Chains A and B, each alone.
Chain A
Amino acid sequence: MSVEMELRAAACRLLEEGTVDLFIGWERGSLPASAVPVFITDPADADRLVFDITCGTNPAVYFTKDHRQFDGKRVGLALKGCDSRAMVQNIMEKQVEREKVVMIGVPCRGVLDRRRVALAADGREVLELSDLGDAVRLSGRGFDVEAPREAILADSCLACAHPDASVADLFLGAPGGMEDAGERRLRRVREYEALSPAERWERTVLEYGKCIRCYACRNVCPSCYCEVCFVDQNDPRWIGGTCEITDTLIFHLIRNLHVAGRCVECGACARACPAGVDLLLLNRKVAIEVLERFGEEAGMEIGAKPIMADFREDEKQEFIMG
Chain B
Amino acid sequence: MSRVVAEDPGRFLRTFDLVFEDPADRAGFTYLPGQFCEISILGKGESPFGIASSPTEDGHLRFTVNRTGSVTEEIHALREGDIVGMRGPMGNWYPVDLFRGGGVVIIGGGFAFTTLRSLLVYLLAHRSEYRDITVIYGARSPELLLYRDELAAWAARDDLALHLTIDRPVDGWDGLTGFVPSVTKSLAPSPADTHAVVCGPPVMIKFTLPVLTELGFPDERIFTSLERRMKCGIGKCGRCNIGPKYVCIDGPVFSMSELRENPEPV
Chain A residues, Cβ within 8 Å of B70: 234-237
Within 224-244 of A, Cβ neighbours of B (below 8 Å) are at: 234-237
Assembled-state Cα–Cα distance A235/B74 (Å): 11
Chain B residues, Cβ within 8 Å of A234: 45, 69-70
What 8 pairs across the A-B complex have the smallest Cβ distances? Answer: A235-B70, A234-B70, A235-B69, A234-B45, A235-B73, A234-B69, A237-B70, A236-B70
Assembled-state Cα–Cα distance A89/B65 (Å): 44
Assembled-state Cα–Cα distance A236/B71 (Å): 11
Assembled-state Cα–Cα distance A2/B73 (Å): 63
| Interface, chain B (partner A; CB < 8 A) | 45, 69-70, 73
Chain A residues, Cβ within 8 Å of B45: 234
Assembled-state Cα–Cα distance A187/B45 (Å): 46
Q: Would you give 8 A-B contacts (Cβ < 8 Å), ordered by A?
A: A234-B45, A234-B69, A234-B70, A235-B69, A235-B70, A235-B73, A236-B70, A237-B70
CB closest chain-B residue, reference A236: B70
B73 to chain A, nearest CB (A): 7
User: Could you tell me how many residues of chain A have their Cβ less than 8 Å away from some Cβ of chain B?
Assistant: 4
B139 to chain A, nearest CB (A): 27
Assembled-state Cα–Cα distance A277/B181 (Å): 56
Assembled-state Cα–Cα distance A283/B70 (Å): 33
Assembled-state Cα–Cα distance A108/B43 (Å): 51
Assembled-state Cα–Cα distance A234/B229 (Å): 14
Chain B residues, Cβ within 8 Å of A235: 69-70, 73
Assembled-state Cα–Cα distance A234/B69 (Å): 9
Chain B residues, Cβ within 8 Å of A236: 70
Chain A residues, Cβ within 8 Å of B73: 235
B152 to chain A, nearest CB (A): 37
Assembled-state Cα–Cα distance A236/B69 (Å): 10
Further 5 A-B residue pairs, CB within 8 A, beyond A234-B69, A235-B69, A237-B70: A234-B45, A234-B70, A235-B70, A235-B73, A236-B70
Assembled-state Cα–Cα distance A236/B73 (Å): 12
A304 to chain B, nearest CB (A): 39
Assembled-state Cα–Cα distance A237/B74 (Å): 14
B72 to chain A, nearest CB (A): 10
Chain A residues, Cβ within 8 Å of B69: 234-235
CB closest chain-B residue, reference A237: B70
A241 to chain B, nearest CB (A): 12
CB closest chain-B residue, reference A233: B70
B82 to chain A, nearest CB (A): 20
Assembled-state Cα–Cα distance A102/B122 (Å): 66
A230 to chain B, nearest CB (A): 15
Within 95-115 of A, Cβ neighbours of B (below 8 Å) are at: none
Assembled-state Cα–Cα distance A242/B45 (Å): 16
Assembled-state Cα–Cα distance A234/B71 (Å): 9
Assembled-state Cα–Cα distance A237/B69 (Å): 12
CB closest chain-A residue, reference B43: A237
Assembled-state Cα–Cα distance A235/B45 (Å): 11
Chain B residues, Cβ within 8 Å of A237: 70
A235 to chain B, nearest CB (A): 4
A233 to chain B, nearest CB (A): 9
B251 to chain A, nearest CB (A): 25
Within 204-249 of A, Cβ neighbours of B (below 8 Å) are at: 234-237
Assembled-state Cα–Cα distance A234/B45 (Å): 9
CB closest chain-B residue, reference A234: B70
Assembled-state Cα–Cα distance A226/B45 (Å): 24
Within 59-85 of A, Cβ neighbours of B (below 8 Å) are at: none
Assembled-state Cα–Cα distance A237/B45 (Å): 11
Within 182-214 of A, Cβ neighbours of B (below 8 Å) are at: none
A242 to chain B, nearest CB (A): 15
